[in-house]
Amino acid sequence: MRDEAAETETQAGGSQVIFTNPLEIVKIRLQVAGEITTGPRVSALTVLRDLGFFGLYKGAKACFLRDIPFSAIYFPCYAHLKSTFAAEDGRVSPGYLLLAGAIAGMPAASLVTPADVIKTRLQVAARAGQTTYTGVIDCFRKILQEEGHRALWKGAGARVFRSSPQFGVTLVTYELLQRWLYVDFGGVKRPGSDPVPKSRITLPAPNPDHVGGYKLAVATFAGIESKFGLYLPRFQAPPSTSVASKA
Residues 36, 58: contact at Cβ < 8 Å? no
68 and 8 Cβ atoms separated by less than 8 Å: no
In a domain, 190, yes or no: no
Query: How many domains in the chain?
Result: 2
Which stretches of the chain drop beneath a pLDDT of 50?
A: 1-6, 196-201, 203, 224-233, 243, 247
Would you say residue 192 lies in a domain? no
Model pLDDT for residues 135-181, shown as the tens digit of each residue: 899 999 999 999 999 999 999 999 999 989 999 999 899 888 888 87
Distance of CA 3 to the CA centre of its chain: 19
Judgement on whether residues 129 and 17 belong to the same structural domain of the protein: yes
Residue 92 and residue 135 in one domain: yes
Same domain, yes or no, for 158 and 222? Answer: no
Do residues 164 and 126 both lie within one domain?
yes
Query: How does pLDDT run across 223-234, given as a tens digit for each residue?
Result: 544 444 444 445
| pLDDT for the residue 147 | 92
Residue 27 forms part of a structural domain:
yes
Query: What is the 8-class DSSP label of residue 87?
Result: -
If asked whether residues 239 and 123 sit together in one domain, one would say no
Tell me which residue range forms the domain holding 229: 197-247
The CATH number given to whatever domain includes residue 118 is 1.50.40.10
| pTM for this model (two decimals) | 0.61
In a domain, 187, yes or no: no
Residue 56 lies in a domain: yes
In a domain, 189, yes or no: no
